[in-house]
Structure 1
């Protein structure tokens, strides 16, 4: 079998050659002229295909520095926090996660130690401790054998056995010593006692350990424990004047000073020195100490919880001697 091969078409020669070549040239010329005409029309330019008036996005100055890749995304600065949410979403999340500031709580007049009631504006007592004027406290009364009436306040024997020991918390390192307290029982009975002792833990805040004689004024001692309320007094029946005592062993080189028979609780005791008044630290056994002797034997200034100050002059250092004065705190 023979295989037939097709030969390459032979170029046509003759008169038709010039016609064939001339047509493309004419079409090319016409196209060039048309392009020139369009280019010369008003409003035409390089932005062909974009509607007239369309805005062009321009990158803010400096973006190229933050976008070295030219990708259109700006890399955050080193250490800057990143977030996947847009700014508006981030702000919404932040507002939801941050609670509103709580309204300020109203001022409370309650006092630790189970207060029964409190005055919103008690009388001025700038130096009062836990036991404050015009404030009622709740607690229980118990009884103890008071002996001769001496106790942690170191006042010595008491002629009047209407006395009590204050619980450790409200005793407050002897700040309660000498305070007069009105005690009321649920049965309506009441009595006024003077604090001369401390009732150690586990005596609870608000608890008073009364002498057996004082407890008997409220209820039968066989009861053992009695629910009570109590409050601070500034009694009319206090001694006419208070007294001062130097502790055993006191001298001009070291001394302890104590106030006795004061109507209102003592807040501070000072001695006069060459440099002025010097406030002495208070011990839990109810003496104010000048460990270096500075001020021992000089004038003494005593301040009660209301801020009243009494000055005592001319008392010698006489250890363990009760020395009367001519002053007393005012009744409140």
Structure 2
């Protein structure tokens, strides 16, 4: 997998400092305290899609996390607030860092420059997953139907970790299987547009209708998983957009929760 092109040299002294730094931040947002994990960050250049098949923001606002936080693909698409020596930036998890131990993350060069000096190579950071971040309407890539052995779905702009993606079948819904590559797969032999029900780990749920099959790019919907209206049954089919992730995450206040498997533990 030719996805990692590290472009930094790690000074020995910096490695020593980063290895002993254990930063714990207590952030007060909306009246509730939250924890942040302490560790270190380096920068890298991701492949076109990353392991999560979401694409990568052009401004470098993306991250690769270790296996524990990647959680078999469950961490894909979530947003992290990362605080370094020069400030805080927000990044989207789009990749797996197989060699990263707990507390170590790789981030895009653009994001790294906003919180530290590139010459450092690796910097001490504290980072936390953002709950209910402000993101745009859902984007969904759907491959299936004629010429495909199974249905294949990738969802973007969901913000929180997803719990289920379900395919409407008659009057009910059938759950799809989630893979480590962040692809939700289902039955073959489908025809016509499909309807999906998408749920996150915090109980938000949205139904997206009229998704075309066999599309190689993300289809832009008008449906948000939370904080926005759902379309009526007569809503038009989603338009197709180029295969790219959501716009760069903004610094809109949101509840910050501990990194790792949700729901977050109390501090």
Distance change (3 Å), C-alpha of 1:301 and 1:236: same
User: Where do 1:199-218 residues align within 5 Å?
Assistant: 199-201=97-99, 203-218=100-115
User: Where do 1:34-45 residues align within 5 Å?
Assistant: none
Moved more, 290-299 or 220-229: 290-299
Question: What is the CA-CA distance between 1:237 and the residue it aligns to?
Answer: 4.4
User: Do residues 190 (structure 1) and 88 (structure 2) align?
Assistant: yes
* TM-score normalised by length of structure 2: 0.66
Work out the CA distance in 2 between the residues paired with 1:283 and 1:293: 20
Q: What is the aligned counterpart of 2:46 among 135, 146, 151?
A: 146
> Retained in 1: the 8 A contact 2:145–2:190?
no
Q: Deviations over 1:149-192 (max 9, x none)?
A: x311111353332111111221011111111110112x351111
Work out the CA distance in 2 between the residues paired with 1:308 and 1:298: 20
**Equivalent position of 2:118 in the other structure:** 221
Q: Specify which structure has the bigger relative contact order, considering alpha-carbon pairs within 8 angstroms and separated by 6 or more residues.
A: 2
> Retained in 1: the 8 A contact 2:132–2:226?
no
Q: Which has the higher helix share?
A: 1
Work out the CA distance in 1 between the residues paired with 2:225 and 2:61: 21
> Retained in 1: the 8 A contact 2:86–2:116?
no
**Equivalent position of 2:141 in the other structure:** 245
> Retained in 2: the 8 A contact 1:180–1:193?
yes
> Retained in 2: the 8 A contact 1:163–1:211?
yes
**Equivalent position of 2:214 in the other structure:** 318
Work out the CA distance in 2 between the residues paired with 1:281 and 1:147: 24
* TM-score normalised by length of structure 1: 0.54
> Retained in 1: the 8 A contact 2:198–2:225?
no
**Equivalent position of 2:36 in the other structure:** 136
> Retained in 2: the 8 A contact 1:170–1:206?
no
**What is the RMSD computed on CA atoms of the aligned residues?**
2.9
Structure of greater Rg = 1
Work out the CA distance in 2 between the residues paired with 1:304 and 1:195: 16
Q: Which has the higher strand share?
A: 2
Work out the CA distance in 2 between the residues paired with 1:294 and 1:115: 50
Q: Which runs of 5+ in 1 are unaligned?
A: 1-113, 120-132
Equivalenced residue count is: 201
User: Do residues 156 (structure 1) and 55 (structure 2) align?
Assistant: yes
User: Do residues 178 (structure 1) and 77 (structure 2) align?
Assistant: yes
Q: Deviations over 1:247-297 (max 9, x none)?
A: 4xx226511111112232222100111372111110111110014457984
> Retained in 2: the 8 A contact 1:272–1:295?
no
**Equivalent position of 2:10 in the other structure:** none
> Retained in 2: the 8 A contact 1:184–1:228?
yes
User: Where do 1:52-63 residues align within 5 Å?
Assistant: none
> Retained in 2: the 8 A contact 1:137–1:231?
yes
